[in-house]
Amino acid sequence: MKKINIKSILKLIGTLFKKIVCRLSISVFILIILAFIINSYLFNKFYLSIINTEMVFINDIISFDENAHNEALYRWEKNENSFFEAESKSYFDPFYPNFSMKRSGEKRLSIERTEELLSNPNIQDLLKAENLYEFYKNKGGSLLLIEDRAEIWEELLLGSDDGYFGTYNQNILFLEELKKELTD
């Protein structure tokens, strides 16, 4: 077996390089001719073959299906409405309560609870209360249990009773709503 001599390969590459550089104009001309032949082949294959083919026209009449269009519009509007409903729905956040769950125009407290609030002859003292403890103390009672306050919270349409935790923000809003019931 013959050994490959690296020195002879490098010598051959060097001589080829010298010949190419010496005859640079001939090498460039050969490369230009080769590029022209390749481009001519591609032009013939992809452009001229398409021009020579016969065009086929479809004689079918395009029709517009109005029922399908109306159904698609209906589905679009339905999905859009459900998207906006989901966007505007309020959920209780225990870390930052959102109190926008009230619905206006509805009776908020039951008749019994309203009468109970109005039975106190000294309503001005109730309106001056700064917290729920003072409010119920001025009313002549003690602060209600959280479960009882949660029921009133729901009656006032401030949220669900299981969403009432007695936080500071909730209690301030609760007090304001109780005062509104006295003045309405």
Tell me if 66 is assigned to some domain: no
Residue 177: inside a domain, yes or no? yes
pTM exceeds 0.75 for this model: no
Residue 85 lies in a domain: no
Contacts of the segment 11-20: beta carbons below 8 A, 24+ positions apart: none
pLDDT of 5 reads 83
What pLDDT digit, counting tens, does each position of 16-67 carry?
A: 888 877 777 777 888 899 999 999 998 888 887 777 677 676 676 777 788 8
Sign (positive or negative) of CA dihedral 26, 28, 32, 35:
positive
Residue 100 in this model has a pLDDT that exceeds 60: no
Domain count, the chain: 2
H-run or E-run covering 75: helix 66-88
Range of the domain at 29: 6-51
Position 90 confidence tier, pLDDT thresholds 50, 70, 90: low
> Is 94 part of a structural domain of the chain?
no
